[in-house]
Amino acid sequence: MSQKHSLFIVVFFVFQNFWGQQQQQEDFILSFGSCNKQTLENVLWKEIAKNKPAVWVWGGDVVYADTDDMAKLEKDYQQQWQQKDYKEFANSVTVLGTWDDHDYGLNDGGEEFSVKKESQQLFLDFIKVPKEDPRRKREGVYHSQVFTTPKGNVKVIVLDTRYFRTSLTKAVNSSKRYQPNSYGKGTVLGEKQWAWLQEELTNSKADFNLIISSVQLLSYHHGFESWGNFPHEVDKFKELIKNSNAKGIIVLSGDRHISEFSLTPIEGMSYPLVDFTSSGLTHVYSSYSGEYNPYRLGTVVSEISFGLLKFDFDQKKVRFQIRGKNNVLLQEYTQVYN
């Protein structure tokens, strides 16, 4: 990205934040976030509720358990439900979501986790998935749901980037944790989930299609977990969304203990792909001092925060907001989907 372009983006963000304080009528509001320690006071739920979202989407790391002891994992989930503000909030909105490694049970874990079937049932219990739901008998927590309003609808497609994910490649001669696999080696979603995602997008009639991934899709130079560790899967994802003809595709991600907007054009699509990362509901990468992300818009937010998406169906527009303590607007980006 050129310096001129970067300057324009910064000015644009400042302009938006200045004028964006006025009240705007929204057709549909969705909230999301990730990285939440059940052992810490959860201070953001009342702030999230002030925005009157219809939906909350967990982007992973609902609790920090890191265990193959299912009795401990169950207690950790129960401890989260004992957070009074969370209980009140979760009982007032629709709750969806996926897991990441710490609630899955194995740090940076994937398909090799020995008790993933048992862990899946406890996660589904936590988000109150009925016993007759297909997710109870299917491997993986992936799921979709359509939310309908008088003006339009939003489809939320929740991916599972843990259950089927194959091994990562440890970085060699580098301070980073991982490096990309050889092109074509391994998978993030697994064959069945890829087929399901294709069907969900190809058959979607929604005005907007949100795809929830617990790890970042676009940013990968940091060397931690991301889709970029499987570069062929990133290319496959881009081809899939382009060929699906689904409208208004947006990616929401977590994991990183920072929040940021990443964006890239995709040939054949009339709008850029946004990967909105919201990570750090209770704790963050407070020592963050910078990392390269060529897709970034604006700056990294390294304080506790949550994400909001505010939909305008008439103008085919979405306002993406990062908000923090006291519901303060920390950063905002608006995208039109023609």
pLDDT at position 235 over 70: yes
Q: Check residue 24 and give its pLDDT.
A: 61
Taking the C-alpha atoms of residue 94 and residue 148, their distance in angstroms, rounded to an integer, is 13
How many Cα neighbours within 13 Å face the side chain of 110? 16
Taking the C-alpha atoms of residue 187 and residue 142, their distance in angstroms, rounded to an integer, is 15
Count, in order, helices (H) and strands (E) of the chain: 8, 15
pLDDT at position 17 over 50: no
Residues 56-95 pLDDT 10s? 999 999 999 999 999 999 999 999 999 999 999 999 999 9
pLDDT mean across residues, the chain: 94
Average pLDDT over residues 250-279: 98
Q: Check residue 123 and give its pLDDT.
A: 98
Q: What is the pTM of this model?
A: 0.92
DSSP 8-state class, residue 245: -
Average pLDDT over residues 29-43: 98
Beta strands in the chain (DSSP E): 28-33, 55-59, 94-98, 143-148, 153-158, 169-170, 178-179, 208-213, 249-253, 259-264, 273-277, 296-301, 306-312, 317-323, 329-336
Q: Between 70-81 and 116-126, two packed helices, what is the crossing angle to 10 degrees?
A: 10
Residues 147-194 pLDDT 10s? 999 999 999 999 999 999 999 999 998 999 999 999 999 999 999 999
Label residue 1 by pLDDT band (50, 70, 90).
low
Q: Considering only CA atoms, which of 247, 244, 159, 237 is closest in space to residue 209?
A: 247
Residue located via tokens 């925005």: 51
Average pLDDT over residues 110-115: 98
Q: Check residue 6 and give its pLDDT.
A: 46
Q: Check residue 25 and give its pLDDT.
A: 74
Label residue 14 by pLDDT band (50, 70, 90).
very low
Average pLDDT over residues 181-209: 98
Measured CA to CA in angstroms, residue 321 lies from 31, 32, 326 at distances of 9, 11, 14
